[in-house]
């Protein structure tokens, strides 16, 4: 049974008279205790997708259609009050810019206690502090952090605070939005290790949003590749990232040097992201695709399913029988 | 990676501010002293009377007030006296400068404090409210009004108020601090003073409101777009709690800074208003002193004002350091 | 960066405040330049009708000495514009130089200059101006110079912040490696690139200079040889009840002028920080 089922999700921003389609018809299934990485360039819509799950996008300029079914409940159809009950208790987020993720003029312990009391208002101070210190321990933070201000910590420590904060109710689903991007490689490695240990311990389901494919390949079971708001390929990491079916995924992987094997020239993907405010004909990646054929420019490829939950949207794979 | 403890940081921050304050006082004092002394025109002539000043009289006065000595010597003497608490004697009235200042200080403080506090409270409240209702008619109208008020010279506004309320509608007195004709005691006197205070305080308050309105409005808007607000929202916290506990506390900080910065400006506004409303305060005193070239009085007043501003600024800085823990690092 | 004039016009048109502000300013400059043509009388002439109500002959009425208020207000625009613009120019230049040097040089130089700026902020500058003008004479040039010399702190802080953020940019570092002198970099790169917010801020300086001069004239320390709005108000104070038009129209002129500069400044700030635009 899937914990999170995203069906035909569309997110549009209305800004300065333009309609920007940030997420186009994305469908994903995430099972219990899955760990899935959503990869893509900046502007691919991956963060928007994550923010949409908890309806954290500015309501007055965003239009969302489709379904986001969490544990049987469509999050897009419930009231704000009901959604608030789910926020953080069942689904939590770790944001990217952790340095500013907490109020700079309040102590960390104070804020975390406050947040704890959002869903457990009757909890005693002792109970709250106990839980917070327990979380600090989980993420290897010293108890002293409780009485400190955010600016007194380093980037890595603040990131750990953010993770501890996200786990405060031991949620079922954890979304990490570029959570380690701002850190140096060593710290990133440490934190990723800690996250994976926690996942096992707390039976977490994890969605990792990142542009760094190597992070996904080393820490996630499944992967979904997004480009310009469209989902291009998804499946198990062992499949997709070793023998990618979609040209874009292939191009992404080629942009990363490998430690082993013969030395190759690094190849990026030439070109830039398309304008998301105008309708596009055909495959969204066609302009930058080396293998594009005529049909690619004329018809949008449908998502085809292969063995092992492997989904690809490309004319070159799974035949040209699109309607 | 853990940085300075709160206590040490605050102390050194305050220490630095006090040092700056003292430097400023010394600096401004030196400037005024030398500016005045090197000025053209001999105060003694003015004092002795314009027609046919008796040369002997002038000489006598000059020696009496020590103006015959070279200026550096005058300076040293003056500083020595200040440290003893003696600001010299006014040329015009021959009274000690300290006495003159003491008499006039209270009315000025009354006006300044009342209007400043009112302006901060009202301006901030309006600004916060406008930020919550950003884009609405209320917000846009308030922004427009604040432009107009900002562009209005305080003394002119005072005159218009006198025109409307005192002359045309005759509900408030035109000038002065209390009724000179009837002598009132006790509570009646207080009421009388308050009645006389309404127009000048209103003028001063209204003039200062746009400043606090703008600062608090933009600060709240800025804070609401910060990352941590997104975090708090994601946790399911109610908007009202986020606003009252977190937004306000963060947004109030620039207001404190602004209060401190605008002090020097406010004082000048008060002086002009005092003239418009014939309020018996320091403003009038300084004008007279300037006209009559009353050096001791002038220097004394300037010194007093500088010191008062410094003290208030330092107090404000202390409040700022308490409210914003980030500042204690430096 | 806005490169050609077409782009600039487009930008100006897109922002309401800027448009209105510039139009108002044009009107103002027009009035000042064509004053002799617009004014109905000679502002210094004492007509027979004293404290006359506004009429078709005396559009804003006359004052206690019989001078036509309308003409005085028209000519007063010259004084205000002169003072505002020149004083603001002086303070902007001083502020840019001081702030630029402090921000770019950093280190001890910056610390010292910042202390000086802090000190100046604590000074009750209006009184300083009063004292200087009262003692050294109230000619227009004195007033302009004193105001200019005391109002540079805002610009200095702004320029300093700009310089600090600019000096880390790569193109500055490359200029250094090429061997350009510090002063050269300061004048050829730092200042020109950081100048735009300064220009927006300088409109505030103009406004405050005009208001300061009005205050000075009101007390009687303005230049007696020129017509100044503050002066008119000072005179009108004595006839407040009998001749309300004297103070009213001169004051409104000040408000009108200051607002136009504010609008221009606000408009320029909008171009600079579109993020604030979204919030609005």
Task: Quickly state the pLDDT bin for B290 (edges 50, 70, 90).
Answer: confident
| B-chain residue closest to C258, CA distance | B151
Model confidence pLDDT, tens digit, residues A174-206: 999 888 777 788 888 888 888 888 888 888 899
Q: Which of B27, B167, B310 sits opposite C241 (nearest CB)?
A: B167
Contacts of B323 in chain A (CB under 8 A): 105
Q: Coil, helix or strand for A70?
A: strand
For the whole model, what pTM was predicted?
0.82
Nearest CB to B221; choose among C115, C121, C279: C279
Contacts of A115 in chain B (CB under 8 A): 232, 235, 237
Sheet containing A304-306: give its strands across.
A91-94, A173-177, A205-210, A35-39, A222-227, A230-236, A310-312, A304-306
Q: Cα(C217)–Cα(C72) distance, rounded to whole angstroms?
A: 14
Q: Find, in chain B, the residue whose alpha carbon is nearest to that of C259.
A: B151
What was the pLDDT predicted at B207?
Answer: 93
Report the pLDDT value the prediction gives residue C52, as an integer from 0 to 100.
83
Nearest chain A residue to B325 by CA distance is A105
- C-alpha B200: how far from its chain's center? 14
Q: Give all domains of chain B, ordered by start, each with its CATH number.
A: 98-291+309-323 (1.10.3720.10)
Please report the domains of chain C, with CATH numbers, ordered by start residue: 14-256 (1.10.3720.10)
Long-range Cβ contact pairs of B250-254 (< 8 A, separation 24 or more): B250/A103, B250/A104, B250/A105, B250/B219, B250/B223, B250/B226, B251/B128, B251/B216, B251/B219, B251/B220, B251/B222, B251/B223, B252/B124, B252/B216, B252/B219, B252/B323, B253/A105, B253/B219, B253/B320, B253/B323, B253/B324, B254/B215, B254/B216, B254/B219
Check B235 against A115: CB less than 8 A apart.
Answer: yes
Check C254 against B153: CB less than 8 A apart. yes
Contacts of A255 (CB under 8 A, 6+ apart): A266, A267, A268, A269
Answer whether residue C277 shows pLDDT above 50: no
Give the nearest partner residue to B227 out of A97, A106, A151, using CB atoms. Answer: A97
Given a cut of 90, is residue C253 above it in pLDDT? Answer: yes
- The whole-number pLDDT of residue B2 equals 36
C-alpha B300/C-alpha B95 separation (Å) is 13
Three-class secondary structure assignment of A159-199: HHHHHHHHCCCCCCEEEEECCCCCCCHHHHHHHHHHHHHHH
CA angle B209-B211-B212, nearest 5°?
70
Q: Can you give the pLDDT at residue C11?
A: 67
Determine which of B4-13, B201-210, C3-12, C65-74 has the lowest per-residue pLDDT on average: B4-13
**A233: CB partners within 8 A, 6+ apart:** A224, A225, A240, A244, A245, A246, A248, A249, A310, A311, A312, A313, A314
DSSP element (H, E) containing A222 = strand A222-227
A35-39 and A205-210 strand pairing:
parallel
Contacts of A110 in chain B (CB under 8 A): none
Q: How far apart are CA A1 and CA B164, in angstroms?
A: 77
Q: pLDDT digit string (tens) for C76-105?
A: 999 999 999 999 999 999 999 998 888 888
pLDDT in tens, B140-196: 899 889 989 999 999 999 999 988 887 777 777 777 777 777 777 778 888 888 888
CB A228 within 8 A of CB A186: no
Q: Which residues of B touch C206 (CB under 8 A)?
A: none
CB A283 within 8 A of CB A300: yes
- Tell me which residue of C126, C25, C65 sits closest to B154, measured CA to CA: C126
pLDDT at B122 over 90: yes
How far A224 CA lies from chain B's nearest CA (Å)?
24
Q: pLDDT tens, B73-94? A: 777 777 777 777 777 777 777 7
CB contact under 8 A, B2 and A88: no
Q: In chain B, which residues have their Cβ closer than 8 Å to the Cβ of A165?
A: 231
Distance to chain B for C174, nearest Cα, Å: 31
pLDDT band at A218 (very low <50, low <70, confident <90, very high): confident
């Amino acid at each position: 049974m899937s914990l999170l089922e995203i069906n035909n999700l569309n997110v549009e921003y209305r800004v300065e008279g333009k309609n920007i389609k940030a997420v186009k018809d994305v469908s994903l299934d995430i099972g219990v205790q899955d760990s899935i990485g959503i990869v893509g360039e900046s502007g691919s819509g991956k963060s928007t997708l994550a923010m949409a799950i908890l309806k954290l996008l500015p309501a007055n300029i965003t239009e969302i259609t489709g379904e986001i079914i969490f544990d049987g409940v469509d999050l897009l159809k419930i009231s704000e009050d009901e959604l608030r009950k789910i926020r953080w208790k069942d689904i939590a987020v770790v944001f990217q810019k952790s340095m500013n993720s907490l109020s700079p003029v309040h102590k960390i312990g104070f804020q975390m206690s406050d947040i704890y009391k959002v869903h457990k208002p009757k909890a005693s101070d002792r109970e709250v502090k106990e839980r917070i210190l327990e979380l600090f321990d989980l993420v290897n933070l010293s108890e002293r952090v409780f009485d400190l201000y955010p600016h007194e910590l380093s980037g890595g420590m603040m990131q750990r605070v953010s993770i501890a904060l996200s786990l405060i109710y031991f949620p079922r689903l954890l979304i990490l939005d570029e959570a380690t991007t701002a850190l140096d490689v060593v710290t990133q490695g440490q934190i990723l290790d800690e996250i994976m240990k926690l996942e096992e311990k707390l039976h977490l389901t994890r969605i990792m949003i990142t542009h760094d494919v190597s992070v996904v390949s080393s820490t996630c079971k499944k992967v979904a590749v997004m480009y310009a708001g469209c989902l291009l390929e998804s499946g198990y990491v062992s499949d997709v990232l070793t023998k990618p079916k979609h040209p874009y995924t292939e191009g992404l992987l080629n942009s990363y040097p490998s430690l082993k094997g013969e030395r190759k020239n690094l190849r990026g993907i030439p070109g830039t992201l398309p304008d998301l405010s105008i309708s596009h004909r055909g495959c969204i990646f066609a302009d930058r695709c080396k293998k594009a054929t005529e049909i690619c420019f004329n018809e949008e490829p449908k998502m085809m399913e292969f063995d092992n939950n492997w989904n690809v949207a490309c004319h070159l794979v799974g035949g040209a029988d699109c309607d | 990676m853990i940085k300075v403890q709160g206590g040490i940081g605050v102390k050194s921050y305050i220490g630095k501010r006090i040092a700056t304050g003292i430097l400023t006082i010394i600096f401004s004092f030196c400037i005024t002293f030398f500016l005045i002394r090197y000025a053209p025109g001999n105060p003694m002539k003015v004092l002795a009377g314009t027609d046919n000043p008796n040369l002997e009289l002038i000489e006598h006065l000059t020696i009496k007030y020590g103006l015959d000595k070279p200026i550096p010597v005058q300076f040293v003497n003056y500083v020595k006296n200040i440290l003893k608490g003696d600001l010299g004697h006014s040329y015009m009235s021959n009274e000690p400068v300290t006495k003159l200042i003491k008499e006039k200080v209270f009315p000025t403080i009354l006006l300044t404090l009342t209007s400043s506090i009112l302006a901060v409270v009202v301006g901030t409240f309006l600004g916060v409210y406008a930020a919550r209702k950003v884009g609405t008619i209320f917000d846009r109208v308030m922004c427009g009004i604040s432009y107009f008020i900002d562009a209005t010279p305080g003394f002119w506004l005072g005159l218009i108020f006198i025109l409307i309320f005192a002359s045309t509608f005759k509900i408030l007195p035109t000038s002065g601090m209390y009724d000179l004709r009837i002598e009132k005691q006790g509570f009646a006197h207080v009421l009388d003073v308050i009645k006389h205070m309404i127009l000048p305080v209103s003028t001063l308050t209204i003039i200062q409101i746009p400043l606090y309105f703008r600062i608090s409005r933009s600060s709240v808007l800025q804070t609401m777009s910060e990352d941590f607000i997104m975090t708090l929202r994601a946790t399911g916290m109610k908007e009202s709690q986020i606003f009252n506990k977190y937004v306000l506390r963060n947004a109030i900080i620039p207001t404190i800074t602004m209060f401190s910065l605008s002090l020097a400006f406010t004082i000048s506004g008060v002086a002009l208003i005092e003239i418009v409303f014939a309020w018996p305060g320091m403003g009038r005193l300084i004008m007279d002193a300037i006209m009559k070239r009353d050096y001791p009085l002038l220097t004394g007043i300037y010194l007093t004002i500088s010191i008062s501003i410094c003290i208030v600024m330092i107090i404000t800085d202390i409040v700022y350091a308490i409210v914003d823990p980030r500042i204690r690092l430096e | 960066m806005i490169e050609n004039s077409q782009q600039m016009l487009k930008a100006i048109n897109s922002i309401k405040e800027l448009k209105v502000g510039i139009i108002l300013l044009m009107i103002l400059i027009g009035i000042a330049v064509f004053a002799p043509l617009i004014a109905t009388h000679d502002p210094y002439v004492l007509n027979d009708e004293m404290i006359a109500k506004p009429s078709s002959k005396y559009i804003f009425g006359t004052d206690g000495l019989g001078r036509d208020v309308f003409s005085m207000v028209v000519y007063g625009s010259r004084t205000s514009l002169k003072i505002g613009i020149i004083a603001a120019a002086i303070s902007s230049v001083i502020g840019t130089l001081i702030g630029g040097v402090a921000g770019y040089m950093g280190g001890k130089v910056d610390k010292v200059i910042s202390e000086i700026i802090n000190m100046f902020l604590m000074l009750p500058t209006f009184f300083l101006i009063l004292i200087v003008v009262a003692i050294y004479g109230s000619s227009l040039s004195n007033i302009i110079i004193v105001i200019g010399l005391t109002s540079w702190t805002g610009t200095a802080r702004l320029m300093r912040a700009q310089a600090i953020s600019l000096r880390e940019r790569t193109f500055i570092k490359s200029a250094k490696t090429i061997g350009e002198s510090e002063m050269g970099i300061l004048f050829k790169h730092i200042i020109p690139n950081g100048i735009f917010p300064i220009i927006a801020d300088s409109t505030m300086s103009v406004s405050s200079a005009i208001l300061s001069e009005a205050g000075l004239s009101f007390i009687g320390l303005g230049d007696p040889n020129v017509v100044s709005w503050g002066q008119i108000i000072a005179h009108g104070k004595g006839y407040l009840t009998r001749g309300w038009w004297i103070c009213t129209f001169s004051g409104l002129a000040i408000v009108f002028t200051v607002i136009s500069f504010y609008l221009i400044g606000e408009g320029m700030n909008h171009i600079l920080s579109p993020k604030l635009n979204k919030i609005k």
